[in-house]
Structure 1
């Protein structure tokens, strides 16, 4: 993966972080995953962390 590619991360009110581009995520167990345009949880309630599963709507996340 190219180290200098520009990524965009959109912070949308009451929603996950919307990443535009290819990212390499290093998970808590040390494994790495390459994803295109992931939506990352920022409410803390996702059952599929670090990815959003829509839980922010169920818990009324505001941010």
Structure 2
């Protein structure tokens, strides 16, 4: 799986994953999801676009996750 850190924006996670919150509740996510990278979203851990308002700057990157058995 690839996680993309978009230039000046959120982490982009491809769909077909399961999100588990701090209470252990699981929610399947079938579409791409954007996770906050600037730390200012009012809807953490999800991106709400605040990075644009605060002029967040960060490089683009791709993180490749390999599942080991």
Same fold (TM over 0.5): yes
Q: Which runs of 5+ in 1 are unaligned?
A: 1-6
Instruction: Give the RMSD, CA atoms, in angstroms.
Output: 1.2
Runs of 4 or more above 2 Å deviation = none
**TM superposition score normalised by structure 2:** 0.71
Unaligned runs of 5+ in 2: 59-69
Q: How many residues align?
A: 57
* 1:19 aligns with one of 13, 17, 21: 13
TM-score with structure 1 length normalisation? 0.77
- The answer to which structure, 1 or 2, has the higher relative contact order (CA under 8 A, 6+ apart) is 2
Cα distance per residue 1:27-62 (max 9 Å; x no partner): 123222111211111111111111110000111111
